[in-house]
């Protein structure tokens, strides 16, 4: 079955350490996205990419970095510069060939806890 795989499901890190969250999709989707979810705040866009080797900042990109070396993969690095990294992180993808507003397909998320 096609889908989006995020790993790991739970991640624990010490403050000051960088950490990379994995996101892989086998849907052959062009676009991929990273969202951060905090209680009571909905989802906020961190970064998105519509094509390999290109990506754009979302609304809350500070303290995060991404890469898009392959169509299937869009890893997110939470750097030590991110002031409040503890959150639930969701990766999503969409097919631009279905139109500019084709629905997003989401992974099951990674819960990051930084202490």
Residues that bind other proteins (CB under 8 A): 4, 31, 33, 35, 40-45, 48, 50, 58, 90, 92, 94, 96, 100-104, 106-109, 111
**54-57 and 87-94 as β-strands: parallel, antiparallel, unpaired?**
unpaired
- CA–chain centroid gap for 68, Å, is 11
Q: Work out how close the CB of 18 gets to other proteins at its nearest, in angstroms, rounded to a whole number.
A: 24
Q: Of 81 and 96, which has the nearer Cβ to other proteins?
A: 96
Q: How is residue 6 written in tokens?
A: 């995020």
Q: How is residue 99 written in tokens?
A: 């139109």
Q: Of 41 and 53, which has the nearer Cβ to other proteins?
A: 41
Q: Work out how close the CB of 37 gets to other proteins at its nearest, in angstroms, rounded to a whole number.
A: 9
Q: Of 33 and 114, which has the nearer Cβ to other proteins?
A: 33
Q: Of 61 and 80, which has the nearer Cβ to other proteins?
A: 61
């Amino acid at each position: 079955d096609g889908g989006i795989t995020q790993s790991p499901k739970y991640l624990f890190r010490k403050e000051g350490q960088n950490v990379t969250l994995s996101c892989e999709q086998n849907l052959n989707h062009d676009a991929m996205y990273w969202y951060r979810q905090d209680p009571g705040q909905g989802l906020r866009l961190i970064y998105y990419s519509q094509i390999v080797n290109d990506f754009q900042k979302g609304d809350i990109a500070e303290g995060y970095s991404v890469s898009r070396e392959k169509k299937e993969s869009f890893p997110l690095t939470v750097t030590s510069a991110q002031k409040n990294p503890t959150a639930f992180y969701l990766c999503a993808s969409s097919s631009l060939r279905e139109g500019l507003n084709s629905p997003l397909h989401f992974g099951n998320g990674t819960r990051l806890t930084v202490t």
